[in-house]
Amino acid sequence: MASPSLAERVVVTAEQMQAIETRLFAAGLPVAALMEKVANRLSQRLMAEYPDRQQRWGIWVGPGHNGGDALVVARELHLQGYPVQIWHPFERRKPLTEAHLQFAQHLGIPITNTYPDSCDRWLDGGFGFGLSRTLNEASQAAIAYLNASGKPICSIDLPSGLDTDRGEPLGAAIAAERTVCLGLWKQGLLQLAAAPWRGQLERLDFGIPEADIVAVLGSNPPRQILTDARAIAALPLPLATDAHKYRRGHLLLIVGSQRYRGAALLAAIAARASGVGMVTLAVPEHLSAIAVAQVPEALVLACPETAAGEIAELPLDCDRYSAIAIGPGVGTGSSIRSVLQQVLQQARSLLIDADALTVLAQHPEDWTLRLAGSATVITPHAGEFQRLFGSVPTPETVDAAVAEHSVILVRKGPSPTVATPTGTSWSLVDSTPALARGGSGDVLTGLLGGLLAQTDAVSAAIAATWWHSRTAQAIARTHSPLGVSPTDLAAQLAFWLGQRLRSDSAHGYLTRE
């Protein structure tokens, strides 16, 4: 498998992108030449994607260079026979944008400052990266017109109105069908706040020299895309020829209660798919027979339970396990806090999820029980993150949380992200909303826990996040997004990975050759 280039995998802030462009311009690259190069490549991409020359394109042109890009695209579409109409409701514009507007007028492309309603699709060239102030009322009104049109919108670089770094609407934002990100991935596009606006994401390369990226971000940039190559390299493969079950890791999975019996089984089945050598399943006593029947490979520990059907105590020595995972469906009673306190004090890799995170949020002082130097992974959704740390998950708040508590955090959502205390993070460009179902997180916990027993915590988090998401996407393609049940997800993890590893040169990971 070919290694992705630095441009393919780096994620930048507005300040970093501006610094890279400044280097290009200082080295002699004219701004006009860069605009022509980028917009011409975008034009070719759009014409390949939308070959019907009867479709009428509306081009929303902003006052800055994003508007200049849009004008070059408008020119190229016009010259190739597409019906094009330019909407430019601004009195001022940058000189280069002004020049392209004048040439578009010379070519006879219709230009209006009032909203045209005769377009079949729109190109959003309003505002690109670097936007950090709230849009004025006129710009917000223009965005409202476009969103209300019901026509598909393709945004250049970012949907107009989004904060480049945080992904939040600055008063209003274009609801794009797709966003073509220029050059390097922008941090804001990968944030939870951007999900309703960004649509389908793709990156358009325009040949930024790697030396200029390294000069600004270093050779190992702190924020990166989680590529297939990076995730596959994180898997505990190939297996050693002299492997046996104890060398392949032993996971203690603490799960389930009377109310959430299914969570225990989903997590256990996913742990089995991870390839871990052994799984001990700690469940309330009433769940033990079901667990044995559904996951016969597991060693099932029937724990004493409370009147509410939650684990009352954990009657075992944790020293024998490679990793411990706790949370799915365990409940939030006082006995669960005692169990959590017990595992927090173990010198073992630890994964905390679901109900266990809720208990930890109720008793934040228990963070201090965690032994220094012991790897800890947490997997909160947005609500759990807010309960734990008192703020919504943003790049800044996630960085602060993982640094303060020395944890590895898997941020769930449209672009799942693995954040580490060193400041390095990896994000999937896309996942699938089909994972927004009760039980999907239990599957992730079991899978991640099983990998955590076999490899280091960062590798386990990276591999599990990718594997979980890509399997769900594959099911969605065959069964529709409505058909991605957590039961099928857990059952198909191993099958999907086998297909993926055989699909290209990655087959070498399956066995030693």
pLDDT score recorded for residue 154? 98
Instruction: Check residue 383 and give its pLDDT.
Output: 92
Give the pLDDT of residue 292.
Answer: 96
Delimit the domains of the chain by residue range.
6-225, 244-498
pLDDT of residue 67: 98
State how far the Cα of 314 lies from the Cα of 329, in Å rounded to an integer. Answer: 16
Instruction: Compute the distance between CA of residue 179 and CA of residue 430 in angstroms, rounded to an integer.
Output: 12
pLDDT of the residue at 246? 74
SS3 487: helix
Element (H, E) at 350: strand 349-352
Position 243 scores a pLDDT of 78
**CA–CA separation, 21 and 11 (whole Å):** 15
Specify the pLDDT at position 512: 43
pLDDT score for 385: 96
| DSSP result, 51-80 | --TTSPEEEEE-SSHHHHHHHHHHHHHHHT
Q: 6-225 domain in CATH 3.40.50.720? A: no
CATH architecture of 244-498: 3-Layer(aba) Sandwich (3.40)
Whole-number pLDDT of residue 132: 85
Residue 513 is predicted with a pLDDT of 37
DSSP string covering 395-430: HHHHHHHHHHHT-EEEE-SSS-EEE-TTS-EEE-S-
Measured from the Cβ of residue 66, the count of other Cβ atoms closer than 10 Å reads 27
Residue with tokens 């980028």: 38
End-to-end CA, the chain: 16
Cα separation, 326 vs 446, in Å, equals 9
> What pLDDT is recorded for position 508?
57
* DSSP 8-class letter at 378: E
Q: Say how far apart CA 207 and CA 495 lie, in whole Å.
A: 37
Q: If the chain, 513 residues long, is cut into consecutive pieces of 10 residues, what is the mean pLDDT of each piece?
A: 86 97 97 97 97 96 97 98 97 96 98 92 95 93 96 98 96 98 97 95 96 96 96 93 82 97 98 97 97 96 97 93 98 97 96 98 96 93 94 94 97 94 95 94 98 98 98 96 97 96 66 43
pLDDT at 363: 97
**Residue 504 has what pLDDT?**
66
**Entry pTM:** 0.94
DSSP secondary-structure letter at 139?
A: H
Burial 386-408 (b: 16+ CB within 10 A, else e): eebbeeebbbeebbebbeebebb
pLDDT of residue 382: 92
